[in-house]
Structure 1
Amino acid sequence: MIVQHYNPQDLEDTVQLWYRTWHHTFPLLQHPQPYSAWKIRFRDELAARGSVWVAEVKNRIVGFVVVMKEEHYLAQLFVAPSYQNRGVGSALVKKAKEICPLGLTLQTLQENTRACVFYERHDFQVGNLSINKINGQPNVEYYWLP
């Protein structure tokens, strides 16, 4: 596995991974935005403002992380279901901590218990509870301080 900086030519593969993995993780939730909105958001917001890194296995993107460096915010971290529990997420969290060595915050849906356990295993602490502004679901904030 290689973790490398995102290349804009990988937009479609990265967004497809994001979209498919989100829907696999939350099969009972209907996301309010169509795929086209996800692609625009990734290109115009996340990739334009954030530091994006992808994990590749055999030249195939299997995960990615987006860090908003100025805000010390881990905006997105997704790993394809078939590559979960193989160290991909851990490598991406390590990269996020390298980008923001003074600390990070993130939000995930409260019902995403696998992600909660994952972040807690990587020394993130529970913070505030809120509502996700895009999909209206309950969020939990996590923070990491070195």
Structure 2
Amino acid sequence: MVRIRPYQLNNLEDTVRLWYRTWHETFSHIKHPYPYSVWKARFRDHLAAHGDIWLAEVENQIVGFVIVIKEEQWLSQLFVDTTYQNQGIGSVLLDKAKAICPQGIRLHTLQANIKACVFYERHGFKVGKLSRNEINGQPNVEYYWMPEYDI
């Protein structure tokens, strides 16, 4: 059973390890320009400092996380350990992001991440602008979600 809980400072290493490993498993054909130490510093100094982070746990093991920057209505990161994908964990984390930003939310994902694109579209996200990822140089696609209101 999956449990969603807030991130705590002592979760830094496990969360960054999951993020780094999952990104590299998903994009094994892309050489990321930064080493693990830079990922950890970015997570600690930028993402954790400015974002609302929620963890997904199975049997007390972190298997996914979502980071939302509420003031910007921005879903910064959503990652689920590759061995736990397709079990509804990403959907639960995405629902948490929507609850944090009920007025709407935006995100970027790599255009090559077809599984993520299908996932977001299945959850009501629409395609926005195309761009280039400023960190790894890969083509990005922006997605946005707006709640449906009954009129």
Q: TM-score, normalised by structure 1?
A: 0.99
C-alpha distance in 1 between matches for 2:63 and 2:9: 16
Taking the aligned partners of 1:43 and 1:91, their CA distance within structure 2 comes to 24
Task: Report the secondary structure of 1:76's partner residue.
Answer: strand
Query: How many residues of Structure 1 are paired with residues of Structure 2 in the alignment?
Result: 146
Larger Rg: 2
The match for 2:98 is 97
Q: Hey, what does 2:142 align to over in structure 1?
A: 141
Which residue of structure 2 aligns with residue 44 of structure 1?
45
Identity among equivalent pairs (%): 64
Name 1:131's counterpart in structure 2: 132
Match of 1:20 in 2: 21
Cα deviation, 1:117-137, whole Å, max 9, x if unaligned, reads 000011000000000000000
List structure 1 runs of 4+ shifted beyond 3 angstroms.
none
For residues 47 and 6 of structure 1, the distance between their equivalents in structure 2, rounded to whole angstroms, comes to 9
Which residue pairs with 1:64 in the alignment?
Answer: 65
Letter of the 1:66 counterpart: I
Give the whole-Å Cα distance in 2 for the aligned partners of 1:122 and 1:41: 28
Structure 2 distance, partners of 1:133, 1:95, is 26
How far is the alpha carbon of 1:5 from its aligned partner?
0.4
The two structures, once aligned, show a CA RMSD in angstroms of 0.3
- Report the TM-score, using the length of structure 2 for normalisation: 0.96
Query: Hey, what's the Cα distance between the residues in 1 that align with 2:9 and 2:67?
Result: 13
1:7-62 deviations in whole A, cap 9, x for unaligned? Answer: 11010000000000000000010000000000000001001000000000000000
State the AA in 2 paired with 1:77: L
**SS in structure 2 of the partner of residue 94 of structure 1:** helix
- Structure 1 residue 142 displacement after superposition: 0.1
Match of 2:5 in 1: 4
Q: What amino acid sits opposite 2:120 in the alignment?
A: Y
Answer yes or no: is 1:114 the counterpart of 2:104: no
